[in-house]
Amino acid sequence: MHRPRAIVFDLDGTLVDSLPDIVGAFRDAFAEQGLTAPSEAEVRDHVGLPLETMYAAFAPAERVAALSASYRHLYPQRFTRHSRPFPGVPEALATLRGRGFRLAVATTKRSEMAVRLVAALGLTDALDVVQGTDGFPHKPAPDVVRRALAALDADGVWMVGDTVHDIEAGRAAGLSTYAVTWGTHDAERLRAARPDRLEATLEPLLAATSG
């Protein structure tokens, strides 16, 4: 009996345009803590890493915990203010599901918040598993990808993401890698990570999985 095939997606910057809400809450935490915030461009460059790692890039070590706590207070209040699925994403997921693929999210977000975001944006029924990073190594380590595949009980085919961390994690997990250019990292940076595909839409993914 053949095992089902699976496609694993990053969430923020890949399936959903959530960066304005993430960056806004991240920067507002500095104001709440009486600190000067980095620019939007500086923050965006770090999206996809764990929250504490992001804050450590811009603040003294002794302030990281307080900043992270502020973000975790602020972000749930605004996480659907601007966030939406990227155009064509719901339709692409439906097509892939119709072809028999199992679909998962593997994100650096904590699982609880990732599930909330997926639900709020109407994608719950389009996905089989939403796996966050809960107390184990984050991307570019492959752990979150492997846990998503284990939950699916399926063989991974593609890892789709918008950062070099996604590409490195997918490769380490043994999947083909599909980098999308509409998210956090630009095409030049993604190209340096040597994804199997570097694309501006999901149409080539649909073409590659049509057989």
Q: Give me the domains of the chain, ranges plus CATH numbers.
A: 5-18+83-208 (3.40.50.1000), 19-78 (1.10.150.240)
Q: Of all residues in the chain, what percent carry a pLDDT higher than 90? A: 95
What pTM was computed for the model?
A: 0.95
User: Cβ(10)–Cβ(161) under 8 Å?
Assistant: yes
* pLDDT value of position 1: 61
Residue 211 has pLDDT above 80, yes or no: no
Q: What is the pLDDT of residue 110?
A: 95
> Nearest Cα to 27, choosing from 60, 54, 62, 61?
54
Q: How confident is the model at residue 33 (pLDDT cuts 50, 70, 90)?
A: very high
Q: Looking at the annotation, which residues are catalytic?
A: 10, 12
- Whole-angstrom CA distances from 82 to 42, 79, 94, 191 are 20, 7, 23, 28
